[in-house]
Amino acid sequence: MVVIGKKEKDSFEQILPTLHNNIQNIYANTQEGNGQKWLMIDLEDDNKQYEDIKTIINIKARRK
């Protein structure tokens, strides 16, 4: 699970078109609550989706 909050939303949405299609779909289909989206992303192997999650975590880390 990755939470995209108000602080990360702009940075995340800028890179969203470059992310794995599955992550784009999860983001588009996740309802926002209190300015946050809680993304439940299943990672099973080291593929592009896995690398994208590391990119998202780096965005969150820079915002703190």
Q: What 8-state DSSP symbol labels residue 31?
A: P
Asked if residues 55 and 2 have their Cβ atoms less than 8 Å apart, the reply is no
Q: Which two tokens stand for residue 13?
A: 């949405």
Which carries the bigger pLDDT value, residue 55 or residue 43? Answer: 55
Predicted TM-score of the model (pTM): 0.80
pLDDT digits (tens, 9 = 90+) for 17-53: 999 999 999 999 999 999 999 999 887 766 788 889 8
Write down the pLDDT at residue 63: 65
Which band of pLDDT confidence, cut at 50, 70 and 90, is reported for residue 16?
very high
Q: Which two tokens stand for residue 57?
A: 């975590």
Q: Which two tokens stand for residue 51?
A: 């690398």
